[in-house]
Amino acid sequence: MSARFMRFWSAALILAAVSLPAFSAGGSLLIKNGTLLTVTKGVIAKGDILVLDGLIKQIGPNIQAPPGVTVIDAAGKYVIPGIIDSHTHIALNGTNEGSEAITPEADVGAVVNADDTAILTALSGGVTMVHTMHGSANPIGGPNVVLKMKWGKPSEELVVNEALRTLKFALGENVKQSSRTILPGGPPPRYPQTRMGTNAIIRREMLKARVYMEEWDRYNKFKASKTPPKLLIPPRKDLRMEVLADLLRGKMVARCHDYQATEALEFMGLAKEFGFKIQALEHAWEAYKIADELAAAKIGISVFADSWAYKMEAAEGIAYDAGYCAKKGVLVSINSDSAERIRRLFNDAGKTMKFGGLNETEALSLVTFNPAIQLGVDKIVGSLEVGKQGDIAIFNEHPMSAYTRCDMTIIEGDVYFDRAQYLKEREEAAKQAQAPKKGGRP
Partner 1 sequence: MRVRQWFYLLPVFLLVFAISWSAPADVGPTYAVRNAKIVPVTGPVIDKGTLIIRDGLIEAVGAADKVVIPEDAEVFEAEGLIAYPGLISAHTNLFLEEAAAPARPTGEAAPGPAELMAGAAAQPQSPQNADLIIFKNLKPRKSTLDGFLKAGFTTVLVAPNRGIFQGQSVIVNLNGEEPGPMVVKNSAALHLNFTTNRGGYPSSLMGTIAYIRQSFLDADHYATVQTFYAKNLKGMKRPGFDPFLEALIPYLKDRKPVVFQCNNYEEIKRALKIIEEFKLNAMLTHLNEAWRDSDVLKKAALPLLVTLDFRPPNGSKYVSQGEDLRKKAEAEIYPANAANLAKAGLKFALTTFGLNDAATALKNVQTAIKAGLPKEVALKALTIQPALFLGLAQQLGSLEPGKIANVILTKGELFEDKTQVDKVFVDGVLWKF
Which residues of the chain form contacts with partner 1 (CB under 8 A)? 7-8, 10-11, 14-15, 18, 93-100, 103, 105-108, 110-115, 117, 134, 142, 154-156, 183-187, 230-231, 233-234, 236-240
CA 360 to chain centre: 22
Q: Minimal CA–CA distance to 116: which of 137, 130, 96, 98?
A: 130
226 vs 437, beta carbon nearer partner 1: 437
Q: At what angle do helices 261-274 and 195-224 cross, to 10 degrees?
A: 10
Closest CB 120 distance from partner 1, rounded Å: 10
Closest CB 160 distance from partner 1, rounded Å: 17
Closest CB 375 distance from partner 1, rounded Å: 20
Question: What's the CA gap between 145 and 59, in Å, rounded?
Answer: 31
Closest CB 432 distance from partner 1, rounded Å: 12
Name the burial class of residue 138, with classes exposed (0-12), middle (13-18) and buried (19+) by CB atoms within 10 angstroms of its CB.
Answer: buried
Strands 83-88 and 127-132: parallel
183 vs 402, beta carbon nearer partner 1: 183
Would you tell me how many other CB atoms lie within 10 Å of the CB of residue 45? 8
Q: At what angle do helices 239-248 and 195-224 cross, to 10 degrees?
A: 90
Closest CB 122 distance from partner 1, rounded Å: 15
7 vs 424, beta carbon nearer partner 1: 7
Largest Cα–Cα distance of the chain, in whole Å? 89
226 vs 236, beta carbon nearer partner 1: 236
Closest CB 225 distance from partner 1, rounded Å: 18
14 vs 196, beta carbon nearer partner 1: 14
Closest CB 117 distance from partner 1, rounded Å: 7
CA distances for 20 relative to 14, 124, 127, 390, angstroms: 10, 13, 16, 18
How many alpha carbons fall within 13 Å on the CB side of residue 76? 2
132 vs 347, beta carbon nearer partner 1: 132
Instruction: Work out the end-to-end distance of the chain between its first and last CA atoms, rounded to an integer number of angstroms.
Output: 18
Q: Which residues lie closer than 8 Å to 314 by C-beta, 6 or more apart?
A: 259, 283, 285, 308
Residue 137 gets which letter from DSSP? Answer: S
User: For residues 144 and 168, is the Cβ–Cβ distance under 8 A?
Assistant: yes
Q: What are the DSSP calls for 214-249, one per residue? A: HHHHHHHHHHHSSS--TT-PPPPP-HHHHHHHHHHT
Which residues lie across from 253 on neighbouring strands?
166
226 vs 230, beta carbon nearer partner 1: 230
Closest CB 234 distance from partner 1, rounded Å: 7
Rg, C-alpha atoms of the chain? 24
73 vs 115, beta carbon nearer partner 1: 115
93 vs 359, beta carbon nearer partner 1: 93
Closest CB 348 distance from partner 1, rounded Å: 27
151 vs 324, beta carbon nearer partner 1: 151
User: For residues 42 and 369, is the Cβ–Cβ distance under 8 A?
Assistant: no
Closest CB 324 distance from partner 1, rounded Å: 36
